[in-house]
Structure 1
């Protein structure tokens, strides 16, 4: 196993903050009320994780597109096609309420691991990529599951 560089690890953890905040506001109504009053209603409850989750799936499409640029021929074509799927998934599946959107996001984040693995196996992603992605995906999907269950 290759050690995850400090900067991507710290930025990855920072990217988890909205998911964790959302869980805290789902589980603690008083905190949700404070967050809604202080930060605005879109910064409390399950809305945070659903909105941010769709943004992160779209962000991951951009990351994966970057990996696709490192491939050639049919593998590049496959890579470009795979790279747009997370954004399209987020766009087409995150409506319909907390349960539906949350489950769709969970499926999307788990599916990205397969796409990540494709790029990693092709040598287009860094050696440490899968370690980071698995770690982040566990936290994200756990937060989304809590949001689905308790919202």
Structure 2
């Protein structure tokens, strides 16, 4: 596997900030209190993670759709079909309270990693793609787990 290019690595890591912030406000009550008072409740604990997680799953549907444009025939149709799953998952599965929604987002991100692997295996994603996606997904799952299990 080749090295992850600098720009996707930095931007991917920067994209983790809301997940990490949410986890920090779950485990640090003074930080959560400060954030709620100064930023609002939507930017504290699992709530920022749930909103942002739904956004990112939808974004990743677009990324997969872009990969599908490199395919032809039945593989392209399969790629386009698979590409919409993360966005639909986020839409339908993030209701019902923070614990259930957080758990469903965890399943959604794990499923997204499986889709990433399929597109990568088909040669539609860059060679370094899985190296980046495994790193980012592991951190997202750890952060979401704080909101679900703590």
* TM superposition outliers: structure 1 runs of 4+ over 6 Å: none
Report the CA distance between 1:108 and its aligned residue.
Answer: 0.5
SS in 2 for 1:123: coil
Report the CA distance between 1:147 and its aligned residue.
Answer: 0.8
Structure 1: where are the runs of 5+ without partners? none
SS in 1 for 2:16: helix
1:44 aligned residue:
44
1:111 aligned residue:
111
User: Normalising by structure 1, what TM-score?
Assistant: 0.97
Aligned pair count reads 150
Q: Does 1:71 align with 2:51?
A: no
1:95 aligned residue:
95
Structure 2: where are the runs of 5+ without partners? none
State the distance in 2 between where 1:94 and 1:43 align: 17
Q: Does 1:5 align with 2:1?
A: no
Q: Does 1:22 align with 2:22?
A: yes
The alignment yields a C-alpha RMSD, in angstroms, of 0.7
State the distance in 2 between where 1:10 and 1:74 align: 35
User: Normalising by structure 2, what TM-score?
Assistant: 0.98
SS in 2 for 1:124: coil
Report the CA distance between 1:98 and its aligned residue.
Answer: 1.3
